[in-house]
Structure 1
């Protein structure tokens, strides 16, 4: 897939109000913001794996452990790497914060201003 050199990828759940603030920051540092609503668009296991490699994180670290669905379906269970990728595909709304990829680097934006770490 060909991308513009100054394109920023913003993976988020549009229903989250905090994500809107992070998107505003993202728009201030990049000319091209490609919004990917992970709650509406299907992200494959391969795409999640690529994102995790850029973040240098494990799938479990992306998830909101306080969410009731995490507590009901995931907490206390042991998963291998493939299992965690399946969880991201099945429950993308459990991702606790937006993910920004810019210039082939990625960050998990725990606060909206984390986007400015790219600037």
Structure 2
């Protein structure tokens, strides 16, 4: 199991705690320190079954200052998330060929 984690985020910490409480083995990827590659993001988006734009945190200053009101292609949204990793919705938990966004944190229980 892999969790794309931001330790400063309450929902991310709650999701990680649920994984720990349920005895799941996991790898933590602090995506703000080491942003995912384009291939990793494409894989995550495919596993989630959403469009790249649906993975964008639209309340972030980076979104409001750089992207609000703009229409971008899927590749451009992915490039935006690589350039501004704070835009990536969090946390994302992956187990095998399934993934969920931990909002609410209980979503992770589908993978345990």
Give the secondary-structure state (helix, strand or coil) at the position aligned to 2:46: helix
Q: How does 1:34-53 map to 2 (within 5 A)?
A: 34-53=27-46
Cα displacement (A) at 1:30: 4.6
Q: Paired residues, what number? A: 112
Cα displacement (A) at 1:116: 1.0
What is the TM-score when the length of structure 2 is the normalising length?
0.90
Query: How many Å separate the matches in 2 of 1:57 and 1:102?
Result: 17
**Partner of 2:101 in structure 1?**
108
Query: How many Å separate the matches in 1 of 2:61 and 2:86?
Result: 12
Query: How many Å separate the matches in 1 of 2:88 and 2:61?
Result: 13
**Partner of 1:58 in structure 2?**
51
Query: How many Å separate the matches in 2 of 1:118 and 1:102?
Result: 6
Deviating more after overlay: 58-67 vs 26-35:
26-35
Query: How many Å separate the matches in 2 of 1:13 and 1:30?
Result: 20
Query: How many Å separate the matches in 1 of 2:54 and 2:70?
Result: 15
What is the TM-score when the length of structure 1 is the normalising length?
0.85
Which one of the candidate residues 3, 9, 17 is aligned to 1:10? 3
Contact 2:91–2:102 at 8 Å: present in 1 too? Answer: yes
Q: RMSD of the alignment, in Å?
A: 1.4
Matched, 1:73 2:66: yes
